[in-house]
Amino acid sequence: MFQQIIALIIIAWFLSRLWWQRRKNYISASEFLFWLVFWLSAALLIIGLKFIDQLVAGLGFSGSGIEVLLYLSVVLLFYLVFRLRLKLEKIEKDTTKIVQHIALKDK
């Protein structure tokens, strides 16, 4: 229970920082919405940890709900890193095309 309270306090701090960054226009509305949904979902999962424990036990797994959440978060992080890598590669290709176009134009 103590860990859940600490986690919820940390999430509340992240939400306050998110709100502040949106007010200062450091992030776009869509980015704000994504992170708001992300942090609120995390808070709901932490609050419903007992239910997740029961669900995991009912499905026959030996691990606890927090372990399942940890595994899912690692999978999500790997997916986001993969998407980020793809986006970075696209930016590199676009930059190369722009540089080639400028170089040929100046020639």
Measured on CA atoms in the order 13, 14, 19, 20, is the torsion positive or negative? Answer: positive
The 10s digit of each residue's pLDDT in 7-38 is: 999 999 999 999 999 999 999 999 999 999 99
The 10s digit of each residue's pLDDT in 30-88 is: 999 999 999 999 999 889 888 888 888 888 877 777 888 888 889 999 999 999 999 99
Residue 67, judged by CB atoms within 10 A of its CB (0-12, 13-18, 19+), counts as: middle
Residue indicated by tokens 């309270």 = 5
